[in-house]
A and B are shown apart, each in its own frame.
Chain A
Amino acid sequence: MSPFEEELRRALKREEPGEDFTAKVLAKIAQENGSIKVERRNILAHLRSLVLGQWQFAPALLFLFVVVSVFGYRQHQQTLRGEAAKEKLLSAMHIAGAELREAQSRVRRIQSPEVVVQ
């Protein structure tokens, strides 16, 4: 590395954020999870009262639970596929845009472009 680049490295050395940074992040996460947990608790409490009050529906509820679990797994798989497809799409569109721009700039650079207009 040249002396200038060494200076640049020194200039861009890492710095630490405030001391309570980690605590703040964890607090925000707890806040996010808290709102989800309350909703889950409410749903569970509701289901519990349904089951206890209507025990004769237990087999049906069990069946429902299995169906929901399978559905949940499939959703998770679908999410994985979707995220992967999204990344591919963004990469592909980026490449396409870049190649189009390169074609345009190449035509500009070549003083007498062979622009074929039909």
Chain B
Amino acid sequence: MLASFDTYATAETAESLPPFAEVIETHKGMVYSIAWHFLRDRPAAEELAQEVFLQLHRSWSSMKSADHIVFWLRKVASHRAIDHARRLKRRPETSLEEAAEPTTLERVHDTFLSTYLARIVASLPEKQRMVVILRYQEEMEVEEISKALNLKAATVKTLLARAIDLLRTKAERRLGRVEDRSQAARAGTEL
């Protein structure tokens, strides 16, 4: 149960926090990557990441611990990225169908798979997209994702399952079975 309001209002003694510049250095990759994988626009991702840290600076007095900072950064970066995408009214699902066929060379070198997967992740509906990014980029558990995105855990699980199905179907339609490709890439053969 939640603490009573008066108890909540009393500021907790924060553990000693790292210097702010160090926090930026440590976590800039995380924040930038959330924005980049979500928006697929590097200048926008960098600007968004900067804004997140500016906001962190303004909220610095309410940070309680290093873990709290990480949670806060992930949560704010996620929400800002989603807000940004909605403001641009970007719905890149059609871009999946327009995605160029990979060349033979690209298939053989399999790095295309990573690029292609990243692109089709960016074409998912916003909520699914962020759930996938937090799960596979940040390796967050369902519970952590549900807290960060203010979603129920069951919703997160459903979104994740559907996203994986969708991504796998689309990837396999374009590139063949992913497991076969992975094995072929490791063996240095072409599919």
Contact = CB atoms under 8 A, between A and B. Distances in A.
Is there a direct interface between A and B, measured as CB atoms under 8 Å apart in the complex? yes
Interface string B33-66: 1001100000001100110011001000010000
A114 interface: no
Determine the main DSSP class of A at the interface with B.
Answer: helix
A91 interface: yes
A11 to B, nearest CB: 4
B115 A11 contact: yes
Contacts, number: 104
B9 A12 contact: no
B96 interface: no
B56 to A, nearest CB: 9
Interface stretch (A1-9, A40-48, A51-59, A104-112): A1-9
Interface string B125-157: 000000011001101000000000010100000
Contact of B150 (A11, A81, A84, A94): A94
Contact of A16 (B29, B54, B121): B29
Contacts of B184: none
Contact of A21 (B32, B167, B179): B32
Contact of B118 (A4, A11, A17, A25): A11
Interface residues of B, number: 44
Interface in B4-20: 5, 8-9, 11
A24 to B, nearest CB: 6
17 contacts: A3-B179, A7-B113, A11-B118, A12-B121, A12-B136, A12-B137, A14-B32, A14-B33, A15-B32, A16-B32, A17-B49, A22-B21, A22-B24, A25-B53, A77-B9, A83-B62, A84-B9
Interface of A: 3-18, 21-22, 24-26, 28-29, 32, 77, 80-81, 83-85, 88, 90-91, 94, 98
Given A12-B118, A84-B9, 11 more contacts: A4-B171, A4-B178, A5-B164, A7-B178, A10-B114, A11-B114, A15-B33, A18-B46, A24-B50, A25-B54, A29-B54
